[in-house]
Amino acid sequence: MIPDGEETIEETADDLLASETLDSAVEEEVDEKDSTDQPPRDRFLPSSIGLTVVLPETVSQVTLRATWGNYKTEPPLPDALLIPEVSGKGKPKPEKPENLRWVRVSGEAAIVLDVTRNQSGIPLPESAAPHTPGGGIEVAVHTVCSVKRLRKGLKSVCASSPSSW
C-alpha cells in the first residue's frame, strides 16, 4: 500500500518521460511576460520515413546507410522507472534524479537489402533506444515492377521503396 500523497513508479516514469527536452535546443529571445521557469516540453515519438527509388531491373541489392538519434537521460534513470517488470505495480517511486537532462546519442548503420522481393521487419543493428530493451528501427522493402516503353530500347523499370519506422 502506498501512503497518501506519494507517487507510484508508473506516475513518476510518466512525468519524467513527458518532460523530455532537446539538450541542444535553439535559444531564442523570449518576451519576459511569456517566460516560465520550466523548459519547453517536446515528446519524442516513433516516426516513419519512406524513400522511393527507380532501379534498372538488373539490380538485385541496394545498400542502405541510415543515421539517427536516440535520447537518454543523464544521470541514467533507475530501471524501476523504465521496465515495469523490475518495479512491480504500486511500489513507491525511487528517488528522482537531480538535474535530469536528455542527451542525444547519434547512431549509424549500413545494411544490404534484397530488392527482388517484398520484406518487412528487417532490424537495423544497434538502433534500439538506450533506455528500453527491444525495439529499434525496422526497414521494409516493397518492390513494384512496371513495364513501360519510355523510349526505344527501354522495356521495364522496377521501383523499390525501402522504408523505415
Q: What residue ranges do the domains of the chain occupy?
A: 9-22+32-164
Residue 70: predicted pLDDT: 87
pLDDT tier, 25 (very low <50, low <70, confident <90, very high otherwise): very low
**Do 105 and 129 touch, CB atoms closer than 8 A?**
no
The residue-averaged pLDDT of 84-104 equals 74
Cβ neighbour number for residue 147 with a 10 Å cutoff: 9
Query: Which H or E run includes 102?
Result: strand 101-114
Q: ∠ at Cα 75 (96, 88), nearest 5°?
A: 50
The structure's pTM equals 0.55
Residue 113: predicted pLDDT: 95
pLDDT tens digits for 124-149?
A: 998 988 776 677 889 999 988 776 65
The residue-averaged pLDDT of 116-127 equals 92
